[in-house]
Structures are given as C-alpha cells and as structure tokens.
Structure 1
C-alpha cells in the first residue's frame, strides 16, 4: 500500500489582512510569510476546487490592482 501523503502545515495567517493591498505587495507578503503557492485571479474566474493547504488565493480587481477577496486552499 502506498504511504499516505502528508500536507505541509500552512502559515498562520489571516486572509482578511490581505484585502485592500495592492496585488504585488500582497503576493510578496504572502511569500515572505511562507505560502508556497500564491494564486491571483480576476473576479469571476473559473478555478479548480482542490484544496491545497500551502495555497493562498487572491481575487484581484483588475482596474485598481488590489485584492478584493482572499481565501486559503
């Protein structure tokens, strides 16, 4: 039987802290805090729904280039 994969422990971080930041600054902040996968998306983007504990997601307003929503996984 194959071993059960272990997930890395995600950084302790609050998604709400990223809302309102510019997209580039939010990505830099997330990477400096230990997120290995940072995904920026336009509002209404079609995305996969698999949960990755090492991923943080940003919904970015394209006109303002700011994070309007953030969630983990």
Structure 2
C-alpha cells in the first residue's frame, strides 16, 4: 500500500524536488516540522487510523503484502 505524502507528491524524489525549490534541506524541513508539533501540540498532517474491518483483515493476513526480505519488499513497493 503506497502512503500518500502530505504534499501530494507521488514519491520521495518529487518531495525532495519540492523542498529543493523552496531551498529547504531535509534537516531544515524536519526541524520546522518538529517546531510546529511542539508549538501546536499536534501533528501538522492528517493521520489515518485503520477501521475495525481493516484491523480484522490484517490480523488474518488478508490483503497483506508479502516478500522474502526487505530488499524485495522495498523494490516491490517502489521505495
């Protein structure tokens, strides 16, 4: 399952490009995000929580993505 980036980028490279256009390094972005969390006492992105049906299916392995090792898993998921 591909997770949606908060900036709606399709992948990490697009997010890197967007940060580069704003002249933000990854550490700068992380520092800004942590400051926002500390000041607002909340996470500045939407966090999706699985519903009861998804939790039950996951517990039984339904719809689970399986791979022999992490290298294959990352390759299959496009990471």
> Same fold by TM (over 0.5)?
no
Structure having the higher Rg: 2
Higher helix share goes to which structure? 2
TM-score using structure 1 length: 0.28
Higher strand share goes to which structure? 1
TM-score using structure 2 length: 0.27
